Amino acid sequence: MSFSFPTEVISEGMVQAAVPRLKAFVKKPSDYGPSKAPVFYNPAMKLNRDLAVLALQAFQRFHGCELVVCEPMAGCGIRGLRLAKEVDRVKKVIINDINDEAVRLARFNIEKNQLGRKVSVKNEDANLLLSRFAKPRKRFDYIDIDPFGSPIPFLDSALRALRRNRLLALTATDLAPLCGVHFKACVRKYGGRPLRTGYCHELAIRLLSSALVRSAAKYDIGVKVLYSYSLRHYVRLYALISYGAKNADNGLENIGWIHHCFGCFHREATAGTFKLNRRLCPECGKKMETSGPLWIERIIDESFLACMERESGIKEFKNKKSIRKLLILAREEANAPITYYRIDKMCDKLGLPMPATKTVKSRLEGKNYKACLTHFNSHGLKTDAPAKVVKDAISGSF
Ligand SMILES: C[S@@+](CC[C@H](N)C(=O)[O-])C[C@H]1O[C@@H](n2cnc3c(N)ncnc32)[C@H](O)[C@@H]1O
Ligand SMILES: [Zn+2]
């Protein structure tokens, strides 16, 4: 088959796929190949797709069910093809894209991988497609929303098209709103206040989770976050969707606020969906800034993660080292305190030389505080120690 643009064949996981030859679309150094090509393909998202394979496999082992999968924004189809080929007991995958050229490429890739019996392609708006599958007994077991920017416009139709107790994956690449650079855009899209703190990537996950929980509650659907992470230009969330008003109410009980003091780095969380109660910092007395409403419960579920880790030991990935590193950090983070301290930012502000993050960690542990590293940032530390103690640990004054 020929295409109206240059392509090349790559292999990723267990599939081979024709993708746009990105170099051909880079005319000047500032050009970003994936967004210049007529069909979207981003090699840097391989790790994201590897983890999707692991998460769906972990979910399948947990529930023992056959899976009908939907990737409503599929580009060249590589993610959906990998799920079809690499995850056990996937019965059917529907991939879809609004872009005609993407759909042609995806069709070609299905044939190339001899997956015609398992994978089918549609060419329509994602919301339209998902709504057509919202009827009971037509719904999906897994939906993977991987859009340009925010997944918010697709949340309602995805929730309606999922069977009970099934898995929803969301990617959000609009970090400028979620991390507080574009404050108003975050308020508009996510219905929440972001904050430009050192731990804004964690806040981004919590704002996205909160938006999901509140969307789901309208349909009497509850949400449990099973796994989430932030890498480079995006955040990613895997959530279990369960039906019932009680589940929806439980989800809402985990919505709250994080208050941050820009004077002394103190932070604290409070529960409550509606109340934005401004407060004064108990450590330095300064007025604190608030982010929310956001999800203040766990953003990683220990047992789901353990299952992903087991699968990562079984499956073969070129990225195995990076995957293991991410999952091992996540294991520590699963039960760690909310937010993290950025040692580099604190040293900047305090005019202190920067010790190794691990040194600060051991000093805190030496004083019987919990402390763990975080995948969010190599200078980040999650701890239950107050900001004042973290400062002492940085300066080595105890
Ligand atoms: C980030 S790319 C998807 C990449 C793909 N999931 C992967 O892993 O390689 C987003 C895709 O969404 C498609 N898209 C954008 N708006 C859409 C809509 N309303 N309905 C369906 N597809 C849409 C774009 O054409 C693009 O291919
Ligand atoms: Zn303070």
DSSP string, 1-37: ---SS-EEEEEETTEEEEEE-GGGG--STT--HHHHS
pTM for this one? 0.95
pLDDT at 28 > cutoff 90: no
Nearest-CA residue for atom 11 of ligand 1: 73
pLDDT for 208: 98
Please state the atom number of ligand 1 nearest to the C-alpha of residue 78: 9
Q: Say if ligand 1 is within 6 A of residue 110 CB.
A: no
Top-tier CATH class for 340-398: alpha beta
Would you say 242 and 216 are in contact if contact means Cβ atoms under 8 Å apart? no
The CATH fold assigned to 1-172 is Rossmann fold (3.40.50)
* Superfamily designation of domain 178-299: Vaccinia Virus protein VP39 (3.40.50.150)
Q: Which amino acid is at 154?
A: F
Closest CA to 378 of 331, 329, 308: 329
Q: Say if ligand 1 is within 6 A of residue 102 CB.
A: yes
pLDDT tens for 182-197 read 999 999 999 999 999 9
Q: How far is the CA of 143 from the centre of ligand 1 (A)?
A: 13
Domain 1-172 identical in fold to domain 178-299: yes
Q: Say if ligand 1 is within 6 A of residue 12 CB.
A: no
pLDDT for 33: 80
Residue 264: nearest ligand to its CA? 2
Separation CA 71–CA 146 (nearest Å): 8
Q: How far is the CA of 387 from the centre of ligand 1 (A)?
A: 42
Q: Say if ligand 1 is within 6 A of residue 49 CB.
A: yes
Q: Say if ligand 1 is within 6 A of residue 379 CB.
A: no
pLDDT tens for 119-178 read 999 999 999 999 999 999 999 999 999 999 999 999 999 999 999 999 999 999 999 999
Long-range contacts of 62-66 (CB under 8 A, 24+ apart): 62/304, 62/307, 63/165, 65/89, 65/141, 66/90, 66/91, 66/141
Q: Where are the domains of the chain?
A: 1-172, 178-299, 340-398
Residue 151: is the preceding peptide bond cis (ω within 30°)?
no
Q: How far is the CA of 350 from the centre of ligand 2 (A)?
A: 13
- The region of weakest confidence among 48-57, 234-243, 269-278 is 269-278
Q: By percentage, how much of the chain surpasses pLDDT 70?
A: 99
Closest CA to 341 of 241, 234, 264: 264
Q: What is the mean pLDDT of residues 316-335?
A: 94
Q: How far is the CA of 58 from the centre of ligand 2 (A)?
A: 42
Q: How far is the CA of 145 from the centre of ligand 1 (A)?
A: 9
| Residue to probe by mutation, ligand 1, list 47, 132, 148, most atoms within 8 Å of CB | 148
Separation CA 124–CA 170 (nearest Å): 19
Q: How far is the CA of 311 from the centre of ligand 1 (A)?
A: 28
Q: Say if ligand 1 is within 6 A of residue 131 CB.
A: no
